[in-house]
Amino acid sequence: MSQHGSDTGPPPVVARDPGGGGRAGGDRRGGRGRGSGIKGRQGIWGWLFVSPMVVVLGLFLLVPIGMAAWVSLLHWDGQSNPFTTAADFVGVRNYTDLLTQDGLDRTQFMTSVRNNLYYVLLVVPLQTVLALGLALAVNSRRVKGKGLLRTVFYFPSVTSSIAISTVFLFLFQGSGAVNALLKWAGIHGPRWFTDAHGLVWTVLGWFGLVDPDKPVGALASHGFLGLSWWDWLSGPSIAMCTIIILAVWTTSGTYMLMFLAALQDVPAELEEAALLDGANRRQSFRHVTLPAIRPVLFLVVTLGLIGTWQVFDAVYVMSQGAPANTTLTPAFLSYTAGFKDSAYGRAAAIAFLLLAIIVVMTLVQRFLLRDRDKPARSLRTPRRRTS
């Protein structure tokens, strides 16, 4: 046999499957089939595990929201089935009565919106600043007894809101402890729960600039959405200021814990590096600490907006909307329209308008608190070099 023939052997034989592919190809297809089967079974089991919660959310959240949306289109007294002809279908009349038609319904709703707007504009900044200040104080290395301070600051947040509201009723009575303390300091305390004057006109009246009992002609004769400009610009009433103080005192502790957790996650090396670079503590807080806790700040402001627009319990216990509807809020107005006036359609419409206000305000504050440096960053990823 020649040298060439002896060195050259028969070619290797590769077993092929009936479909014509090699063994390796068959193994790859089989592996993909087994993997996809496993993932499919995992997905089925995942849906089985979450299905109880999905059913609960559907029954107790989504279905009631859908029913409330339907009721808002009806004139329904709550005594019959809203899905039968016994309930009168009025379309969007409940919404137009609250927004565009002159009358008592729009006046009360816009009054509640005005009251709640001042409540939001005062409570959210005050509770956010106070919570951040308390968190900075507790997080300071110079402060001792941090555990005790955290407990003391957080205690009002875990106390019953009804109990605290009742205590505030006694504290802010005409002969209560607050007015007694002001009298000792030489100040005549106001009538906290019976004074319907707005805070802005009351303060300007102290300086003799306006008379709170005599509205200025131009502001009284012109208005917006059913209320005069005098009413829109009056500020919160003295009674609403009491509820504002209560809200700030009871909610700051919860947000303090959120800020404290965020501050403890800020690397100490960053603050030390800023101080070594010549920055003082104010500059270090503004340019290092505050950007690091921006997500928590956004969360606190969002929760504050949602909670303040839904205020109900303090109003129910302390004022019932009095005096002269200056503590009336949309949530309490929805309650009175449904359970006292049996106008469940109007009550549901108020609830959905309140939801729309919360969504709009949340989007606005999200726009204001956005990261302004983010659009300037390049979103393109560098290409990989190929050899």
Cα distances from 323 to residues 37, 168, 202, in angstroms, run 67, 17, 15
The CATH architecture assigned to 105-198+235-368 reads Orthogonal Bundle (1.10)
pLDDT in 10s for each residue of the chain, 387 residues:
444 444 445 555 444 554 444 444 444 444 455 555 666 677 888 888 888 888 988 888 888 999 999 999 999 888 888 888 778 899 999 999 999 888 888 999 999 999 999 999 999 999 999 999 999 988 887 777 777 888 888 888 888 889 999 999 999 988 889 999 998 988 888 888 888 889 998 889 888 888 888 888 788 888 888 888 999 999 999 999 999 999 999 999 999 999 999 998 888 788 778 777 777 888 888 888 888 899 999 999 999 999 999 999 999 999 999 899 999 999 999 999 999 999 999 999 999 999 999 999 989 888 887 776 655 444 444 455 444
The number of beta carbons lying within 10 Å of the beta carbon of residue 193 is: 20
State the pTM of this model: 0.81
Measured CA to CA, the distance from residue 126 to residue 129 in angstroms comes to 5
| Cα dihedral 169, 174, 179, 184 sign | negative
So where are the chain's domains?
A: 30-71, 105-198+235-368
For residue 264 the two structure tokens come to: 């403890």
Measured CA to CA, the distance from residue 300 to residue 369 in angstroms comes to 12
